[in-house]
């Protein structure tokens, strides 16, 4: 999951280091239980008593549970350090969501510029505040380290620099790895502590929000069947009509990003503004995407009984 950029890598790296230095002062300010699906959004799938049906996509025989939004859509220490300030950042969007969601349901969103901005921000938030961001971050750091190792081995001054530092000539890849471990120990420590991820998730959110700023919003209402929502709810759709894998689809490669906002309504980023009706096949396709990409749970209105069986059939073949 990433957002393409044509900015100077050196400038970006300097900005990252400066921001991490600021965040280092906030390391002890944490919120342990962090929602990856907005409570405001989850409440749209609740019944009159505030209950939401939660179905596991990891354990096929697990019973579904009825819970309130406070206990759902959470990951402990998703952002492991300095998370209080990220929660404040997310809250800026979530506080504006109720009005914008109501306007989507009444097909009045396109008349309100501020509300459209809020929906775009909500899509950016859920695209970013996702378990797949953790996977991509870890994978990217590992690949960057491997690139640095290959670059060190190919650098014409590597053997000389190694000899000057340690008094002997390097012997193969192991020597380069030894040197790299020493040189990158501060970065490795920031990666291991989660400080690097804390900076990354904030930066990704701002870049995603900027990318979405000029995109159009589409609203679809179900004419048959109920929508559900997973714990990775903002899904990028490629030009081939496929929903991106867990590792993510670049925003720049997506023709749509879809986000269910209630059992009857989905919003998406598309080529032009639109309001339309979702037929039964489209509802099933959207639900299948949520079930396929969910990490642990999907959520639905308690009265949508048939969706629980749909989840088990689609995910487990039961």
pLDDT band at 160 (very low <50, low <70, confident <90, very high): confident
Mean pLDDT for 178-182 is 79
Burial (CB count within 10 angstroms: exposed 0-12, middle 13-18, buried 19+), residue 227: buried
Does the pLDDT value for residue 222 go beyond 80?
yes
Q: What is the pLDDT of residue 2?
A: 46
Average pLDDT, the chain: 88
Of the candidates 263, 268, 238, 273, the one whose C-alpha atom is nearest the C-alpha of residue 120 is 268
What percent of the chain stands above pLDDT 90? Answer: 60
Mean pLDDT for 111-115 is 96
Q: What is the pLDDT of residue 244?
A: 56
Q: What is the pLDDT of residue 1?
A: 47
Of the candidates 36, 19, 105, the one whose C-alpha atom is nearest the C-alpha of residue 296 is 36
Assigned token pair, 70: 């406070």
Assigned token pair, 22: 């600021």
- pLDDT tens per residue, range 13-22: 888 889 989 9
Please state, in angstroms and rounded to a whole number, the distance separating the CA atoms of residues 79 and 105: 32
Q: What is the pTM of this model?
A: 0.87
pLDDT band at 136 (very low <50, low <70, confident <90, very high): confident
- pLDDT tens per residue, range 32-84: 888 999 999 999 999 999 999 999 999 999 999 999 999 999 888 899 999 99
């Amino acid at each position: 999951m990433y957002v393409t950029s044509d900015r100077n890598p050196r400038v970006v790296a300097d900005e990252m280091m400066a921001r991490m230095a600021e965040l280092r002062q906030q390391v002890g300010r944490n919120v342990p239980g962090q929602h990856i699906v907005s409570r405001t959004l989850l409440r749209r799938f609740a019944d009159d008593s505030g209950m939401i049906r939660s179905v596991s996509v990891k354990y096929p025989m697990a019973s579904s549970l009825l819970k309130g939004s406070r206990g759902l859509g959470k990951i402990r220490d998703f952002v492991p350090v300095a998370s209080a300030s990220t929660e404040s950042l997310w809250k800026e969007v979530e506080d504006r969501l109720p009005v914008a969601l109501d306007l989507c349901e009444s097909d009045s969103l396109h008349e309100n510029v501020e509300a459209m901005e809020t929906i775009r921000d909500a899509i950016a938030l859920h695209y970013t505040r996702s378990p797949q961001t953790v996977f991509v971050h870890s994978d990217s750091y590992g690949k960057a380290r491997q690139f640095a190792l290959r670059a060190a081995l190919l650098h014409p001054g590597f053997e000389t620099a190694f000899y000057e530092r340690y008094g002997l000539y390097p012997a193969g890849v192991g020597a380069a790895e030894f040197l790299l471990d020493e040189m990158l120990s501060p970065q490795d420590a920031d990666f291991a502590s989660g400080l690097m991820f804390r900076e990354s998730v904030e930066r990704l959110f701002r870049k995603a929000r900027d990318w979405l700023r000029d995109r159009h919003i589409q609203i679809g209402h179900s004419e048959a069947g109920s929508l559900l929502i997973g714990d990775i709810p903002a899904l990028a759709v490629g030009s081939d009509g496929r929903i991106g894998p867990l590792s993510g689809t670049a925003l720049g490669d997506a023709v749509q990003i879809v986000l269910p906002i209630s059992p009857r309504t989905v919003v998406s980023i598309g080529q032009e503004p639109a309001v339309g009706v979702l037929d039964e096949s489209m509802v099933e396709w959207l639900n299948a995407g949520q079930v396929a990409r969910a990490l642990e749970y999907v959520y639905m209105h308690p009265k949508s009984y048939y969706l629980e069986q749909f989840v088990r059939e689609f995910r487990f073949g039961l």
